[in-house]
Amino acid sequence: MNKTQSDRQHAHIASYYAAMQRPRALLGSLAGKVEAQVTIVGGGLAGLTAALELARRGHSVILLEAERIGWGASGRSGGFVSPGFAENIGAIERRVGAATAKQLHALSVRGVDYVENTIIAAGRSDIIGGRGWLHVSRSAKTGKLRAWRDQMVHAYGADMVFLEGGPLQSILKTDRYRAAVADQMPFHIDPLAYAELLLQLCLENGVCVFEGTRVNDIGRNGAAFVLNTRLGQVLSPNVVVATSAYGGPVRQIERSILPVATYVVASSPGGGRLADVIGYRGCIADQRRAGDYYRLVEDEKGLRLLWGGRITTRRSEPAQLAHMLLKDIRDVYPQLDGLSIEYSWSGLMGYARHKMPVIGEISSGLFALTGFGGHGLNTTAAGALVIADALNGDRSALELFGSYRAVWGGGALGRFATQLEYERLRLIDAIDEL
C-alpha cells in the first residue's frame, strides 16, 4: 500500500474539526522489532498525555495507534473541558466517602488545569474557543439544581451562580429553560487541534509514534511484554492500554468497557442570527441525562452552532442524524428554523459499569487507562498524570481509583440494560418538564 492509500484508509471521519485541520501525512506504521521502557496502545488524549508525561519523566516511550492520532472519541468530542467525572459527585461520595471524593475531584481539576496550561505554554490559545459553562434546566423543579450548586460551591470550592427568569432569558432566547447554573472554570476547545498539539509535544520529547498500527495481541517473553502488530513487534516491560471503546487487545480491559455512541452536528455559518439567539460564548448543556450540549464556534467563514446530543448503545449511525439533531435545535430555538447543517458525525465513548475511569495495574507492568465516558477531556489528562507518577514510583493517586476496577460490562446484555435505563431516564426527564 502506498502512502496516499494508507493516508486515505486511516483518514479522520468527516467532522467539522477534521475540515478545520491543515492536512498532515500519516506517520509511518511499525515494521520490524523495537523496544521501549513503556509502550502505549491508543493515540487518543489518554494515550498521548501518558506518552508525553512519561517521556518528560525520562522514560523511553513508544505509542501505537491503529488509525491516526485523535481518530477516536478524542478528535470528535464536544470539546467541553470541565472538572468532575462522568459519574456524579453524590454517587462518588456514597461509594468512596467524602474525603476520597474530594481528592478525586481535585485530580479532575488538575486535569482541567493541565489542558489549559499545555495549550497556553505552547502559545496555542487559538485552540480555546470560549469560557464558562451554563448548566441549563428544562424543569421547573429547580431544587436539585440549586442543591447541586450549593454543594459544589461549599464543599468543592466551585465558582458558580444560579440564574433564572429574565437574567437567563436575556442570554439564551428560549422559553425552554427555567433555570441555569453558570460555572466559571470550564472552557471549550477544538479537541482535534489539541490532540495534534499533544502529538507535536510527544515528538519533541522523543516519543516514537506509529500510526496505522493496530496491536493485535499482547503476550509475554520473560519480564517483557510482546506486542504484535501486522508487520512489527514491540518488547516492553511496561504497557499502558488506552484504547477506550474502539476495541483493545487486552480482553479483561475490553470487556469492562461499554461503548456508547453520541452525535454531533455543526451548522453552516449562521452569522448574526446565531449570536442574537445564543448570547453566550461558553459551553451550554442541559441537565437531562444525555441532554443537548452545544456551543458557538467561529472560523474564517463566521459563527456556527456546534450541537451534540443523544446517546445510544447501538453502534450504527442513524441515516437521518443531521435531521434528528436539527429537530432538537428547533425544539429549543424555533427562531433558528432554516439553519442548515454542514457536518454531522458520531463517536463512541467508553463507559465502565461504575461510570468512573478504569485506571490501574491489571497485572505487573500492564496498566489500564480507559473508561472516561462522556467526561474525558479533563479526566484523560488527570488519569495520564496518575499513570506517569505511578510508573515513576509514586502510587498514591493510583490508589484513589482502587474502588473502580475493571469489571465485566455485561456484553450485549449490558448494552441492552443500559439502553433500557436510558429510555427510562428520558421518560422521567420528559415528565419533569411538564
Contacting range for ligand FAD; rule: CB under 6 A; set: 90-98, 160-168, 310-318, 347-355: 347-355
CB contact at 8 A, 347 and 73: yes
Closer to ligand FAD by CB, 117 or 169: give it: 117
CA dist 342 and 267 (Å) reads 5
CA dist 201 and 207 (Å) reads 9
CB contact at 8 A, 189 and 164: no
Residue 366 φ then ψ, to 5°: -110, 115
Contacting range for ligand FAD; rule: CB under 6 A; set: 66-74, 145-153, 154-162, 310-318: 66-74
**Residue closest to ligand FAD (Cβ):** 376
List the beta bridge partners of residue 167.
none
The answer to whether residue 17 forms part of the interface with ligand FAD (CB under 6 A) is no
The answer to whether residue 74 forms part of the interface with ligand FAD (CB under 6 A) is yes
Closer to ligand FAD by CB, 130 or 347: give it: 347
Residues 178-217 as x/- pattern, contact with ligand FAD by CB under 6 A: ------------------------------------xx--
Please report, to the nearest 10 degrees, the dihedral formed by the alpha carbons of residues 381, 382, 383, 389 taken in order: 110
Site for ligand FAD in 118-147 (CB under 6 A): none
Site for ligand FAD in 357-386 (CB under 6 A): 370, 372-377, 380
Q: How many angstroms separate the Cα of 417 from the Cα of each of 206, 313, 314, 412, 425?
A: 44, 10, 12, 9, 12
Closer to ligand FAD by CB, 32 or 123: give it: 32
Site for ligand FAD in 296-335 (CB under 6 A): 308
CA dist 400 and 87 (Å) reads 15
The answer to whether residue 61 forms part of the interface with ligand FAD (CB under 6 A) is no
Contacting range for ligand FAD; rule: CB under 6 A; set: 16-24, 45-53, 93-101, 161-169: 45-53
Q: For ligand FAD, which residue of 76, 149, 354, 415 counts as binding (CB under 6 A)?
A: 76
Q: How many residues bind ligand FAD (CB under 6 A)?
A: 43
Shortest Å, Cβ 334 to ligand FAD:
25
Q: Vertex 393, ends 115 and 242: CA angle to 5°?
A: 45
Q: How many angstroms separate the Cα of 265 from the Cα of each of 121, 174, 292, 329, 386?
A: 30, 20, 11, 10, 33
Q: Which of 308, 301, 291, 106 is nearest to 188 (CA)?
A: 308
Q: Which residue type occupies 234? A: V
Shortest Å, Cβ 33 to ligand FAD:
17
Contacting range for ligand FAD; rule: CB under 6 A; set: 35-43, 100-108, 117-125, 315-323: 35-43
Shortest Å, Cβ 19 to ligand FAD:
16
CB contact at 8 A, 198 and 49: yes
The answer to whether residue 44 forms part of the interface with ligand FAD (CB under 6 A) is yes
CB contact at 8 A, 178 and 138: yes
Contact residues: ligand FAD, CB under 6 A: 41-47, 64-67, 71-74, 76-80, 214-215, 242-244, 246-249, 262, 264, 308, 347-349, 370, 372-377, 380
